Amino acid sequence: MCFLKIRRTFAASNDEIMIRRTDIATVLANSDIGQEVTVMGWVRAFRSNRFSALYDGSSAKTLQIVVDFERFDENLLKKITFHACIGVTGRLQESQGAGQAIEVLADKIELWGATDPEQYPLQPKFQTMEFLREKAHFRMRTNTFSSVFRIRHGIAYAIHKYFHDRGYFYLHAPIITGSDAEGAGEMFRVTTLDLDHLPRTESGEVDFEADFFGKATNLTVSGQLQGEIGALALGKVYTFGPTFRAENSNTTRHLAEFWMIEPEVAFFDIEDNMNLVEDFLKYLIRFVLDNYADDLAFLDQRIADLEKNMKTEDRRPMPLVDTLRFVVDNEFERITYTEAIRLLRDSKEFKKDRFEFTPEWGKDLQAEHERWLVEKHFKKPVIVRNYPAAIKAFYMRINEPGTDGAPGDTVAAMDVLFPGIGEVVGGSQREERHDVLLERVKAFGIPEEELWWYLELRKFGGCPHAGFGLGFERMVLFITGMGNIRDVIPFPRTPQSAEF
């Protein structure tokens, strides 16, 4: 009984305090000199026992707290260290110093959570990205990561707003699936079977009929196939959820768990698809430019500081904000795969044997090819369409023979290439012809019984339709200017790493 009573009293006290709390972003935006405010957050700096920079996550900016040290207990002031959590009540006043317009003259300081500088992993100095990944439970407190994750939130909000305002319906695709949308086989198995005593069939194979779902299941690699079900009933849908790839890749562009945005639209062809993706990507960038200027300015300056000692050729061609504005102010270049191969083979880089991988018709474009097209040749985003059928997924629509003068069969596929990261979007017009799709399924060695429902979409009331997939983290990577995809997701999942 005593314990419950104490807990109720504590909760009531906290409720009262939290009601009075004002976000620092609100204080900075609506300053009223002389007004009493209560702010709470983490200390970024405390100079001369007098000036504290307080941060609460609501803004890229800090609020200066002025402390009359003679009015406060010396032991309390000693505990106001880097990233200690405090609450301050005081009055707003015009700042006499440079760097801020207003400040709070503290009347009351409460210590919510002390931080021992001798034991706390983070310090008020430069920390490497690698070190901060190991401390992901603290890294959001830093200037860089708080800006990145505010922008990540903003992009996610803008995605939903874009589609909602244009009449799309948000579809929740399953995370556990019995189909492989990409046909690559790089999937995480989901099972409740006892791995030490696996049931076997007469032929010695694992008997998945004894598993929870009665069949082999995996974590999804894409919500596209389910999105097509929605589009062929609701007209315009999109999915936005986690996807998984069991690809043993340790690059700056790959994750084992990431988020995908996949719109699917009935009565769309490849041209409609390209128009949609360009408008959509520009909208997202414009939204961040309009609403997260402070965070972008900080990240822009961060890049400039990092590049001071770099060779000119290793630096970004334009500052971050200028790059974003350039993208939204210019049309994306649109070329065919066949044209891309010709341009690559005509380039000085190819003729001087500077490409690691030889660009040849029928082979997929490598990251170095994509970046050359975007960064060296066109110097802006590029949409490449009509890829060889042999290197693309089974569901992509087969083009008429000889399309674009290609030497082989092509599909109505498209990839959007961005500077710095290469492919950010992949999409296609889907194959709506039942007989053609059936032949493609057989050619890929996919059992018809696995996709019976997908084939039936073409048999009963099918229509032309198209869609694409945007890798959310790659978009955040581009907009924030970060160098590694592991630094734009809160808790990265990569080979041999599943911390936090």
DSSP states of 226-241 as a string?
HHHHHHHHHSEEEEEE
Contacts of 12 (CB under 8 A, 6+ apart): none
Q: What residues form DSSP beta bridges with 423? A: 417
Instruction: Give the pLDDT confidence score for residue 2 in this predicted structure.
Output: 37
pLDDT band at 450 (very low <50, low <70, confident <90, very high): confident
Instruction: Give the pLDDT confidence score for residue 216 in this predicted structure.
Output: 92
Whole-angstrom distance, CA of residue 257 vs CA of residue 259: 7
**pLDDT digits over 68-93, tens only?**
988 999 999 999 999 999 999 999 99
Percent of the chain with pLDDT over 90: 83
Cα angle 350, 355, 356 (rounded to 5 degrees) comes to 145
> Alpha helix locations (H) across 21-112?
24-29, 74-78
Whole-angstrom distance, CA of residue 155 vs CA of residue 160: 9
Instruction: Give the pLDDT confidence score for residue 184 in this predicted structure.
Output: 55
Whole-angstrom distance, CA of residue 204 vs CA of residue 214: 17
325/8: higher pLDDT: 325
Instruction: Give the pLDDT confidence score for residue 19 in this predicted structure.
Output: 54
Instruction: Give the pLDDT confidence score for residue 254 in this predicted structure.
Output: 86
DSSP states of 236-294 as a string?
EEEEEEEEE------STT--SEEEEEEEEEET--HHHHHHHHHHHHHHHHHHHHHH-HH
**pLDDT digits over 106-157, tens only?**
999 999 999 999 999 999 988 999 999 999 999 999 999 999 999 999 999 9
Cα angle 243, 249, 252 (rounded to 5 degrees) comes to 90
Domains of the chain: 15-113 (2.40.50.140), 143-186+221-487 (3.30.930.10)
SS3 94: strand
pLDDT band at 334 (very low <50, low <70, confident <90, very high): very high
Instruction: Give the pLDDT confidence score for residue 252 in this predicted structure.
Output: 83
**pLDDT digits over 10-58, tens only?**
344 455 545 589 999 999 998 889 999 999 999 999 998 899 999 999 9
Q: Is the pLDDT of residue 181 over 80?
A: no
Whole-angstrom distance, CA of residue 259 vs CA of residue 264: 16
Whole-angstrom distance, CA of residue 264 vs CA of residue 131: 40
Residue 378: exposed, middle, or buried by beta-carbon count in 10 A (0-12, 13-18, 19+)?
middle
